């Protein structure tokens, strides 16, 4: 049973396994991404219902550009479709959409869809739904370092005055006021991080599940949160 008093404030998900799901069902990879989008829609809804503050999903990494042009453009077309179909409901559910990553590199229609989602939901106060798009943790940290280095060069701060908090604040998450994730879930049986939230995950709990992302249901999601609730988080202290 879920303990409603101990719902994580921030859940981050590496939504993996769309390609393997497609292969298993004998369909094109992009059909796997479409199925993944439908799964994501349900997880967003359940996150709202559970009162989770932040849901962050890894939708497209800085490394995913290595994939075929067809697959990459298929993913961004699905993003446009998702916004067209779901924005009204997200807004009605008081969800605020935010983006992690440099989405200026996306195709124009995807950029416009993202802008529409950001503007429409900017005053919403319910679930904050953070979509990592063209996101890479090393890219994010590099940008932060560049910003802090230029502050030093301009004499705004001294190098030895840089604090952990300033580093956190220089990241996309810090700029948007997103707390560190309490729980990170990765589907599809892979047990790696793939350049996601490296700085922010210092004390996150990890739950890995073999379920392929398109098969990840709200029930599976609640099971992952139950596993999280069974963990003893010590943050380096003693009990």
Catalytic residue ranges: 16, 64
Between residues 7 and 14, which has the closer beta carbon with respect to ligand IPE?
A: 14
Between residues 62 and 148, which has the closer beta carbon with respect to ligand IPE?
A: 62
Radius of gyration of the chain (CA): 18
| Closest residue to bound Mg ion by CB | 16
**Is residue 85 a contact point for ligand IPE (CB under 6 A)?**
no
Among residues 28, 42, 53, 64, the one that binds ligand IPE under rule CB under 6 A: 64
Q: Which residues of 105-144 are buried (b: 16+ CB within 10 A; e: fewer)?
A: ebeeebbebbeebeebbeebebbbbbbbbbbbbebbeeeb
Closest CA to 58 of 16, 115, 19, 87: 16
Closest CA to 200 of 148, 131, 137: 137
From the CB of 33, what's the least distance to ligand IPE, in Å? 6
From the CB of 34, what's the least distance to ligand IPE, in Å? 11
From the CB of 84, what's the least distance to Mg ion, in Å? 25
Between residues 151 and 190, which has the closer beta carbon with respect to ligand IPE?
A: 190
| Interatomic CA distance for residues 128 and 101, integer angstroms | 16
Closest CA to 218 of 95, 22, 45: 45
Binding region for ligand IPE (CB under 6 A)? 14-20, 58-61, 64, 75, 188, 190, 192, 194
């Amino acid at each position: 049973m879920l303990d409603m008093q101990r719902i994580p404030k921030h859940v981050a998900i590496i939504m993996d396994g769309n390609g393997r799901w497609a292969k298993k069902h004998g369909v094109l990879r992009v059909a796997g991404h479409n199925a993944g989008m439908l799964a994501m829609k349900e997880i967003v809804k359940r996150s709202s219902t559970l009162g989770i503050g932040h849901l962050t999903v890894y939708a497209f990494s800085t490394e995913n550009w290595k994939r075929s042009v067809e697959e990459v453009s298929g993913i961004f077309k699905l993003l446009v479709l998702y916004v067209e179909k779901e924005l009204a409901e997200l807004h009605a559910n008081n969800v605020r959409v935010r983006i992690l990553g440099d989405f200026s590199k996306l195709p124009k229609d995807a950029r416009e869809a993202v802008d529409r989602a950001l503007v429409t939901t900017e005053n919403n106060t319910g679930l904050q739904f953070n979509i990592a798009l063209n996101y890479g943790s090393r890219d994010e940290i590099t940008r932060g370092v560049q910003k802090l280095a230029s502050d030093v060069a301009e004499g705004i701060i001294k190098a030895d005055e840089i604090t952990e908090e300033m580093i956190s604040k220089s990241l996309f998450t810090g700029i948007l006021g997103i707390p560190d994730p309490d729980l990170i879930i990765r589907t599809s049986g892979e047990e790696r991080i793939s350049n996601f939230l490296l700085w922010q995950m210092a004390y996150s709990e990890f739950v890995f599940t073999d379920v392929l992302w398109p098969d990840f249901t709200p029930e599976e999601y609640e099971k992952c949160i139950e596993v999280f609730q069974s963990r003893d988080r010590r943050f380096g202290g003693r009990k």
